[in-house]
Amino acid sequence: MVFFTKMHGIGNDYVYINCLKNNIKNPELFAKFVSNRNFGIGSDGVILIDKSSSCDLKMRIFNYDGTEAEMCGNGIRCVGKYAYEKGLVKKDVMTVETLAGVKVLKLNIKNGYVIDVTVNMGEPSFKNEERIKIQNKIFSIIPVSMGNPHAIIFVKDVNQVDVFLYGKLISENHIFPNRTNVEFVEIVDKNTLKVRVYERGAGETLACGTGACAALVASNMKGYVDKKVDVILKGGVLKIEWNKRENNIYMTGPATQVYEGQIDFK
Closest to 141 in 3D by CA, of 155, 151, 156:
151
Residues 258, 3: Cα–Cα separation, whole Å: 14
Annotation says 72 is catalytic: yes
Active-site residue identified among 19, 55, 72, 78: 72
Active site residue 19: no
DSSP letters, 196-246, are EEEETTTEEES--HHHHHHHHHHHHHTTSS-SEEEEEETTEEEEEEEETTT
Interstrand relation of 57-63 and 68-69 (parallel, antiparallel or unpaired): antiparallel
- Whether 122 contacts 210, CB under 8 Å: no
Do the Cβ atoms of 1 and 264 come closer than 8 Å? Answer: yes
Phi, psi of 133 (to 5 degrees): -105, 125
Q: Which of 55, 78, 208, 213 is catalytic?
A: 208
User: What amino acid positions are annotated as catalytic residues?
Assistant: 72, 208
